[in-house]
Amino acid sequence: MKVLVPVKRVIDYNMKAKVKSDGSGVDLANVKMSMNPFDEIAVEEAIRLREVGKAEEIVAVSVGVKQAQETLRTALAMGADRAILVIASDDVHTDIEPLAVAKILKAIVDEQQPGLVLCGKQAIDNDMNATGQMLSALLGWSQATFASELSVDGDSAVVTREVDGGLQTIKVKIPAVVTVDLRLNEPRYASLPNIMKAKKKPLDEKTAADLGVDVAPRLEIVKTSEPAARQAGEMVPDVDTLVAKLKEKGLV
Amino acid sequence: MDFELPDDAAALIETTRKMVSDLMPHEPEFQKTGKVPAAVRKVFRDNGFFSLAFREENGGMGLGMLEICCIQAELAHLPVQFWADVKSSQGPQTKIIEDFGTEAQRQATLPAVIAGDLVMAFCLSEPHCGSDVSAIRTRAERTGDGWRLNGYKTYVSNGIKAGQAVVAAYTDRSKGARDGISLFLVPADAPGYKLAGILELMGHHTPGVAELAFDDVDLPAEALIGEEGKGLSYLMHGLNAGRLAIAGTSLGMGEMALEEARRYAHERPAFGGTLSDFQAVQHMLADMATEMRAARLLMLDAAWRYDRGEVSRSLCAMAKLFCSETACRTVDTALQIFGGAGYVRGQRVERLYRDVRVTRIYEGASEIQKNTIAREMLRD
């Protein structure tokens, strides 16, 4: 079975996001970018499936700007076999919307014929949480979202999902789209030798136009603003005062 | 002119940085027990850190000094004991085997070193001599078809657990150091090879360095590394790379101290504000940052030129001299910013204060580096 893993280049989770002065979005110029952490978990899961003999080939795909090839190199260094970059913009500030990404991924799936698409449940930049679901709808495939456990057996996959109120276990037919949650696994590092070897692995480039997908945004961003600054705390001299204050505020 | 690191180097450094930051939480436990948690070695072993310096045909990554120095600067944020074995895999003992050893010597050592299973020792200094290599007393005499080694070595890093040692000995004292010293590969289980003592150190404090005694150690002819009498030239061969690597080590320690001091100054309440509100502290931070930046650039320049084949003794000596001296000053100032809290065992700056001091001493003391720089300047 071939596994397709879409990975997104996003602002590094350690970076403090700053809003552009014109309010049109987050400033991404000269900011450290990394692979979306949920996508790292998806890559790791694909590698584990290959390690237990349930997957033969792992193809990483990224949609976005040319620089996303760095993200793909990371996926290759972790263990993906080859990569496909779909260039859909030349401006790092243009975020390709979920529906356009899903359409592009559908075209890639049609071409690559994977048995499983493993996506992060959402990207940490815009938190849309939509691409995997849209892709499964476009493909007419089963979907299992928010996976915290995954096992593949024959032509089905058993997925434990993190849902409100607990865990739900479902069985889906393969081919399927599975979106992964935080607790599925702990991704490995890209080892130093594998970082060097990743340079020699194949990375194909296409454009959204090659695939016939219109990526023009359907959403208009009206305004982006920073969250309100946190108010400074108050120092209290002792525990008694602390308790009194908490009572006063009705917190205990 | 382009001051950006090459993509490869940037990716390797980035990954190392991530691993180092994930390993940092092991420091308090180590500070308490003095034992390096097994998880630390596993991370380095699983991620290829023992293969950095070896050539690809020998199973290594074949990295240049630019990458090695930058990776070393990241590792140096962690306690020395965490990465001492990684550093020893890049030391003269392994590079000499790779460059001048026989195929059999390479096979006996390099794959095990790269796998993280073998630590090798380098035995040069003796109780009465360090930088003055010509004064060593260890000697190897020809026997029927081999050599008999006698002598005493000290300051042997990793000497306690080394499986193999590279030992410098006179094979013909009458020819002087230049043509009379040879190197031998000596397995730690050879009869007569003895761990004679352990020196506890100010920094790097566990497990300390070893003193090794060689009493009538009989070696086969194949134990000789390279050619007889070429020992000194083999030792000199790796000198510049060794100095650059110490530039990396000290740079990393200084940068770590700077970051600790910056964070602490920002957080520590004082007189209704924080320490960082005081201009005296701001100026300390500004000086530290400026000097550490200069140190980094000097190291990058020397390492970059080294990899291009412009090996300059003088630039390598300058990088080692300046990075180590600057790092010591920076760590000292960082401790001053911490005040009493920095003098407490278990504090990271306290650990750095003890650990960084030796960077001005080993791989050629600062005074030796200055000799080298001046000699190159005054050469006709």
Summarize pLDDT for B53-66 with one digit per residue, the tens: 999 999 999 999 99
Is the per-residue pLDDT at A131 higher than 70?
A: yes
Tens of pLDDT, residues A61-79: 999 999 999 999 999 999 9
CA distances from B298 to A3, A88, B60, B75, B244 (A): 47, 41, 27, 19, 10
Element (H, E) at A161: strand A156-163
CB hemisphere CA count around B97 (13 angstroms): 32
Nearest to B47 among A70, A192, A199 (CB): A192
- The answer to whether A25 and A1 have CB atoms below 8 angstroms apart is no
Domain made up of B238-378: CATH architecture = Up-down Bundle (1.20)
Is the per-residue pLDDT at B205 higher than 70?
A: no
Closest-CA distance of chain B to residue A201, Å = 14
Specify the 3-state DSSP secondary structure of A142.
Answer: strand
Displacement of CA A36 from its chain's centroid (Å) = 5
Tens of pLDDT, residues B97-124: 999 999 999 999 999 999 999 999 999 9
User: A235 falls in which pLDDT band (50, 70, 90)?
Assistant: confident
What's the pLDDT score for residue A233? 83
| A195·B12 Cβ contact <8 A | yes
Indicate the residue type of B312.
S
Task: Check the CA dihedral A201-A206-A211-A215 and report its sign.
Answer: positive
Task: Check the CA dihedral A165-A171-A173-A179 and report its sign.
Answer: positive
Cis check: omega of the bond before A6, within 30 degrees of 0: no
**Listed residue (B195, B126, B118) closest to B164, CA to CA:** B118
CATH number for region B120-229: 2.40.110.10
Is the per-residue pLDDT at B207 higher than 80?
A: no
Which residue reads 């006698």 in tokens? B150
Indicate the residue type of B10.
A
Q: Which residues of A touch B8 (CB under 8 A)?
A: 195-196, 199
Specify the 3-state DSSP secondary structure of A162.
Answer: strand
Residue B220 gets the label, from left (phi > 0), alpha (psi -120 to 50) or beta, of beta
Q: Give the best residue of B19, B47, B56 to mutate against chain A (max A CB count within 10 A).
A: B47
| A192·B43 Cβ contact <8 A | no
Beta-bridge partners for A10: A34
| B48·A189 Cβ contact <8 A | no
Question: Percent of chain B at pLDDT above 70?
Answer: 99
Closest-CA distance of chain B to residue A101, Å = 27
CATH number for region A2-248: 3.40.50.620
Q: Which residues of A touch B4 (CB under 8 A)?
A: none
Q: Which residues of A touch B51 (CB under 8 A)?
A: 192-193
Closest-CA distance of chain B to residue A34, Å = 10
Nearest to B47 among A73, A74, A189 (CB): A189
| B11·A195 Cβ contact <8 A | yes
Is the per-residue pLDDT at B252 higher than 70?
A: yes
Instruction: Give the 3-state DSSP-derived string for B145-214, with helices as H, strands as E and coil as C.
Output: CEEEEEEEEEEECCCCCCCEEEEEEECCHHHHHHHHEEEEEEECCCCCEEEEEEECCCCCCCCCEEEEEE
The one catalytic residue among B200, B228, B363, B367: B363
Q: Which residues of B145-180 are buried (b: 16+ CB within 10 A; e: fewer)?
A: ebbbbbbbbbbbbbbeebbbbbbbbbbbeeeebebb
Tens of pLDDT, residues B164-174: 999 999 999 99
| A191·B46 Cβ contact <8 A | yes
Q: Give the best residue of A9, A32, A73, A189 to mutate against chain B (max B CB count within 10 A).
A: A189
In chain A, which ranges are continuous DSSP H helix?
37-51, 68-78, 98-112, 131-139, 192-198, 239-248
Is the per-residue pLDDT at B325 higher than 70?
A: yes
Residues in Cβ contact with B303 at an 8 Å cutoff, skipping those fewer than 6 apart: B64, B65, B66, B68, B69, B70, B244, B247, B319
**Cβ-based neighbour number of residue A164 at 10 Å:** 5
CB-based burial label for A156 (10 Å; 0-12, 13-18, 19+): middle
Polymer length in residues for chain B: 380
- The answer to whether A171 and A32 have CB atoms below 8 angstroms apart is no
Q: Round to the nearest angstrom and report the end-to-end CA distance of chain B.
A: 31
Tens of pLDDT, residues B347-371: 999 999 999 999 999 999 999 999 9
Q: Name the residue with higher pLDDT: B179 or B1.
A: B179
What's the pLDDT score for residue B235? 92
The residue-averaged pLDDT of B333-340 equals 98
| Token reading at B110 | 């390099």
DSSP codes, A118-131: EEESS-TTT----H
User: B206 falls in which pLDDT band (50, 70, 90)?
Assistant: low
Q: Name the residue with higher pLDDT: A35 or B33.
A: A35
**Listed residue (A222, A203, A166) closest to A61, CA to CA:** A203
Chain A, chain B: beta-carbon pairs less than 8 Å apart: 38
| B7-114: CATH, from 2.60.40.10, 1.20.120.1230, 1.10.540.10, 3.10.180.10 | 1.10.540.10
* Distance, CA of B380 to CA of B369 (rounded, Å): 19
Is the per-residue pLDDT at B290 higher than 70?
A: yes
What's the pLDDT score for residue B237? 87
Q: Round to the nearest angstrom and report the end-to-end CA distance of chain A.
A: 56
Closest-CA distance of chain B to residue A136, Å = 34
**Listed residue (B263, B270, B251) closest to B334, CA to CA:** B263
* Distance, CA of B153 to CA of B124 (rounded, Å): 7
Specify the 3-state DSSP secondary structure of A65.
Answer: coil
- The answer to whether B349 and B334 have CB atoms below 8 angstroms apart is yes
**What is chain A's mean pLDDT, rounded?**
95
Task: Check the CA dihedral B53-A67-A121-A212 and report its sign.
Answer: negative
Q: Would you list the domain boundaries of chain A?
A: 2-248
Indicate the residue type of A74.
T
Q: Would you list the domain boundaries of chain B?
A: 7-114, 120-229, 238-378
**Closest B-chain CA to A196:** B8
CA distances from B88 to A22, A43, B113, B136, B160 (A): 53, 34, 9, 22, 13
Q: Which residues of B touch A193 (CB under 8 A)?
A: 48, 51, 61
| Token reading at A183 | 């607790």
Nearest to B8 among A74, A190, A196 (CB): A196
Q: Which residues of A touch B43 (CB under 8 A)?
A: 189
Closest-CA distance of chain B to residue A175, Å = 33
* Distance, CA of A22 to CA of A27 (rounded, Å): 10
| B46·A192 Cβ contact <8 A | no
The residue-averaged pLDDT of A154-183 equals 95
| B52·A192 Cβ contact <8 A | yes
| B61·A192 Cβ contact <8 A | yes
Q: Which residues of A touch B (CB under 8 A)?
A: 70, 73-74, 77, 189-196, 199
Tens of pLDDT, residues A31-45: 999 999 999 999 999
Element (H, E) at A188: none
> Which one of A89-93, A97-101, A229-233 scores highest in mean pLDDT?
A97-101
* Distance, CA of B5 to CA of B295 (rounded, Å): 16
| Token reading at B45 | 């072993």
**Closest B-chain CA to A197:** B61
**Residue B27: active-site member:** no
